[in-house]
Structure 1
């Protein structure tokens, strides 16, 4: 194990390309950032920005095209299939759709115990005891293990998905839009559960979402993704208070205000997100950016440091957001 001060994950130049009719799609394009131990890192962006592909590529559920993911000192992309299978005990995923991700033919007990059985952990009775404990930990009852997924509400099914992810006692979890399909009141319960589990189990998480108010509540660090690239990354509070990329600013301006009498100044993006088959040259955001200049089309933007651990990938960051 590495020193606790070291990030649990170091993502370096990670790229995932899909071949499609008419060319190639760079779903994840040269992405680099760290995920600190015990933290929750939020990953936000519009639909089609590559968030889910990035999360699954980190776990090698989707094989990367190039780059590296260093997990606790080991490059996951260099591991053999056998070694990666052992590593999967330490990293799990909570899927977005709690309906399609649970096998309708299996009872809840069998679903949660599936990973334990696959890795040869425990006996039938000890696995049953573990499932009962996990169900209680996520706010359900031990007797629920004898029911089928369709007998539960959406929020309860997501709790079952969380229990399944916890069964192997992982250190790292990717939560892929894990509350987006839930009612607001149920969202709050699940978010509080995730925070409680982080503290109790010292979990590290990548929380993928499109609701920025949810991410602000839950996460320590935020990464903003656009068309396969990181646009901005930094600690949650500074990033929300002083966004340093035009795309981040536009996303934050779209968050509804809780007080209807207070009107937020909106930054309206022009046009639609470009096709990933033919991304713009230079900065991929320039075709929708009100501050774009000729230089933005020449070469990809490099990171600009705007604060401690706060980076913006915009050539005009210092000019647009000059601090007094």
Structure 2
């Protein structure tokens, strides 16, 4: 892979509440290569969205570094961060609530341009028209309101808004999960086309592993705020090395009734981030848990080029697989 555009080092986010401290993201470290699409997967409540927003400083980190093109975003002043935001954007999960119902599409798409003082009204409208056509809509749609569009069309408007400032990096937060399957495929193909045309770098957050496999170059798996496995897409899918990843992949439907497909059913529910388990956070649900799993947070074990598993029994389990 190419040199990383983003380097995340020991990034953590904790929320202090009257009930205690929520450990939303704990000690996350990984790279996002320039021009790649990195998938971030895990169950609901695993910290995916919080991690994505913390990278952009939409949520302030508690600890750690987010190094974007050699610059640590977490040390920037408000004015410096404002300038950096032109290079980073987000596509939100809900295409309904993420669009202001009182604004016309042209105003929604060009809101960032106005905020940064880019162009005049005429040039911004021209930009909105071009972006609408680039994402598969018609230029005259810019005079309509969000309620006049379908869910897939609204998401395309959200994508056009994210592209308006010509960003280099985009966080796509569950950006197809609210869409029908056929529309999902169209939006995924659009994201792939945009990556090629604009040399975009993306963090694609999702819970549908089949979608992530289709789209992403590398995968990061999270559980209860911690990374449990990361690596290139193909080896991670063909030979997962962490029990949690194996359980997630076993849940993907196989469209062949003649093929044997056994599922790994995890016992219990995901623990509360207010009181995560000691040692390996997955040990309370892991079918291979042992006493060693209580002894400190697992360090990453390299099982292949760029492929790491955060499991104390990785080598043992792999040897007997």
| Contact persistence 1:50–1:226 (CA under 8 A) | yes
Give deviations 1:279-320, integer Å, cap 9, x for gaps: 100000000011111110010000000000000000000000
Report the equivalent of 1:147. 144
Is the CA contact (8 Å cut-off) linking 1:44 and 1:208 kept in structure 2?
Answer: yes
Tell me how far apart the structure 1 counterparts of residues 303 and 268 of structure 2 sit (CA, whole Å): 28
1:221 pairs with 2:240: no
Which residue in the other structure is 1:234 paired with? 231
Contact 1:257/1:263 (CA < 8 Å) preserved in 2?
A: no
Any idea what SS the aligned residue of 2:319 has? Answer: coil
Separation (CA, whole Å) in 2 of partners of 1:175 and 1:313: 25
Partner of 2:43: 46
Q: Secondary structure at the match of 1:13?
A: strand
What are the equivalent positions in structure 2 for 1:11-50 lying under 5 Å apart?
Answer: 11-50=8-47
Q: TM-score scaled to structure 2, two decimals?
A: 0.99
Q: CA RMSD in A?
A: 1.0
Unaligned runs of 5+ in 1: none
Q: Which runs of 4+ in 1 moved over 3 A?
A: none
Question: What residue number does 1:207 align with?
Answer: 204
- Is the CA contact (8 Å cut-off) linking 1:102 and 1:161 kept in structure 2? yes
2:95 aligned with 1:74, yes or no? no
CA contact (8 A) 1:108 1:148 kept: yes
How far apart are the structure 1 equivalents of 2:4 and 2:200?
13
Residue 288 of structure 2, aligned match among 276, 291, 295: 291
By how many angstroms is 1:322 displaced? Answer: 1.8
Q: Return 5+ residue gaps in structure 2 as ranges.
A: none
Matching of residues 49-68 of structure 1 within 5 Å = 49-68=46-65
1:159-178 matched pairs, under 5 angstroms:
159-178=156-175
d(CA) in 1 for partners of 2:223, 2:103:
38
1:30-64: per-residue Cα shift (whole Å, max 9, x none)?
A: 00000000000000000000000000000000000
Q: Deviations over 1:8-48 (max 9, x none)?
A: 00000000000112210110000000000000000000000
Q: Note if 1:94 corresponds to 2:69.
A: no
What does the per-residue CA deviation read over 1:58-102, in whole Å, with 9 as the maximum and x for residues that have no partner? 000000001000000000000001000000000000000000000
Cα distance in 1 for residues equivalent to 2:168 and 2:48: 21
Matched, 1:131 2:113: no
